[in-house]
Amino acid sequence: MFWKNDGFFLLELLLSLSALFMLSMFFVPLLIDFANQSQQHVREKRAKQFLFEELQANLMEDRTNTHSSITLNGTEYKIYWRLTSVSGQKEVCVKVDENTLLPSFEACAIPE
């Protein structure tokens, strides 16, 4: 009726802990990679938002000679105007420098 289970508790505990450790070795780097991709996506989205805000401000007033920098949550977004080599028009660019984990990003657009 009553089973005698002497000596199996430690073995079962070590087996379950090793299984948990093997699963965490697989999922932790995956979660870190997802977090980095999410941060990169947020940086690109904000850079494009600043790009279109600068284009919209250029419609209201001539801002083709201005260079500015916006710091948001520790990330610096550099906004500048430059001449295009193809059409000779000026285009606005937003650049985000690389981080220890994230690459640099640059988005440019020509006002229409």
Q: Provide φ and ψ at 28, rounded to 5°.
A: -65, -50
- Beta strands (DSSP E) in 3-89 are 68-72, 75-83
Phi-psi region of 48 (alpha: psi -120 to 50; beta: other; left: phi over 0): alpha
Per residue in 4-43, pLDDT (tens digit) is: 666 567 888 899 999 999 999 999 999 999 999 999 999 9
Task: Give 60-106 pLDDT, tens digit per residue.
Answer: 887 778 888 999 888 899 999 988 877 778 889 999 998 888 899 99
User: Whole-angstrom Cα distance, residue 48 to residue 25?
Assistant: 36
Distance CA 108, CA 102 (A): 19
Q: Are strands 90-96 and 75-83 parallel, antiparallel or unpaired?
A: antiparallel
Computed on alpha carbons and rounded to an integer, the radius of gyration of the chain in Å comes to 26
The secondary element (H helix, E strand) that includes residue 107 is strand 105-109
